[in-house]
């Protein structure tokens, strides 16, 4: 299966990359990173150049297709969203498709299916043969999707974009307890964390406060930008929040449940150390 890390997983989202690769390996998935992949364009291309917003994701999908693979996983929610949106525009606009193919120098045959992290993990973790080696019993998890993994539903195809439950099923399969809470698809502030920091902090605080009020030991995410806002912003917000709440990638939880070495979880890269909360629940 092709693995598209995107720019974040090779930089600020390094813990996601390390734990995703380890988790996939433990689940028997062979990930192949395409040689020569480029940025998907994410928000800047989408906001400034409509052609490149389609061309850049399609160029990467063409790389996968030429490798002879028919599926690619994009763990970053932004990359996943751009791939899905670009495919929709490519399929709906024949003239645009011709221009993109000419620009790439390759006629894309549309044989590659795009999956996000939860698509891959849920299919493996809820399989009848799956059994965690070190179940995360006693750990309460607030599953946070953010605004990109499921929306817009016309693009993502998510069956219940306002109340998704895939991550909850993964967490239960790992032996942990997902909490019932209200803000799992609220925006964390996203890219506002650059031009409007205080506004982003307000949005992040609401998400964290609700998770804390519902008794969560940790918040689980599947998006590097959500992790930056929810975790790395917390030291700046400690005085206003009055608490800290660890934020981990769902793949980090999976590596722990599979009994992999702690290095595979890359927990030391978190701004709010999750190890004390995990230890209280008998883990890490």
* CATH classification at residue 276: 3.40.50.11810
Helix (H) or strand (E) run with residue 140 in it? strand 140-143
Q: Is 73 found in the same domain as 203?
A: no
What is the per-residue pLDDT across 156-186, written as a single tens digit (0 to 9) for each?
999 899 999 999 999 999 999 999 999 999 9
Q: Is 208 found in the same domain as 68?
A: no
The whole-angstrom distance between residue 47's C-alpha and the CA centroid of its chain comes to: 22
CA distance 91 to 82: 14
Q: What average pLDDT does the chain have? A: 95
Q: Which of 91, 117, 143 is the last residue of a domain?
A: 117
Does the pLDDT of residue 284 top 70, yes or no?
no
pLDDT band at 43 (very low <50, low <70, confident <90, very high): confident
Q: Is 270 found in the same domain as 137?
A: yes
Model pTM greater than 0.85? yes
What is the per-residue pLDDT across 209-241, written as a single tens digit (0 to 9) for each?
999 999 999 999 999 999 999 999 999 998 889
Does the pLDDT of residue 45 top 80, yes or no?
no
Q: Is 141 found in the same domain as 101?
A: no
**Which range is least confidently modeled, 24-28, 34-38, 64-68, 236-240?**
236-240
Q: Is 61 found in the same domain as 190?
A: no
CA distance 220 to 143: 5
For helices 14-26 and 117-125, angle between their N-to-C axes, nearest 10 degrees: 30
Q: Is 56 found in the same domain as 21?
A: yes
């Amino acid at each position: 299966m092709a693995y598209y890390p995107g720019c974040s997983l090779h930089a600020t989202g390094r813990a996601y990359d390390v734990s995703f690769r380890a988790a996939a390996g433990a689940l028997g998935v062979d990930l192949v990173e395409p040689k020569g992949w480029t940025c998907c364009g994410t928000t800047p291309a989408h906001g400034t150049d409509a052609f490149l917003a389609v061309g850049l994701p399609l160029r990467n999908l063409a790389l996968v297709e030429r490798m002879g693979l028919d599926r690619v996983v994009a763990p970053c929610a932004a990359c996943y969203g751009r791939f899905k949106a670009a495919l929709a525009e490519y399929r709906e606009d024949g003239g645009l498709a011709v221009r993109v193919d000419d620009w790439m120098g390759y006629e894309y045959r549309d044989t590659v299916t795009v999956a996000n992290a939860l698509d891959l993990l849920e299919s493996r973790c809820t399989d009848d043969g799956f059994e965690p080696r070190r179940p995360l019993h006693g750990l309460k998890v607030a599953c946070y999707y953010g605004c990109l993994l499921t929306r817009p539903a016309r693009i993502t195809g998510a069956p219940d974009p306002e109340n998704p439950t895939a991550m909850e099923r993964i967490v239960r399969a790992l032996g942990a307890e997902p909490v019932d809470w209200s803000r799992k698809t609220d925006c964390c502030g996203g890219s506002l964390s650059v031009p409007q920091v205080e506004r982003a902090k307000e949005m992040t605080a609401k998400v964290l406060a609700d998770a804390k009020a519902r008794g969560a030991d940790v918040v689980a995410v599947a998006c590097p930008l959500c992790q930056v806002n929810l975790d790395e912003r917390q030291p700046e917000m400690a005085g206003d929040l009055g608490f800290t709440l660890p934020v981990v990638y769902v793949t980090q939880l999976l590596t722990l449940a599979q009994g992999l070495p702690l290095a595979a979880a890359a927990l030391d890269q978190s701004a709010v150390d999750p190890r004390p909360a995990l230890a209280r629940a008998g883990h890490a």
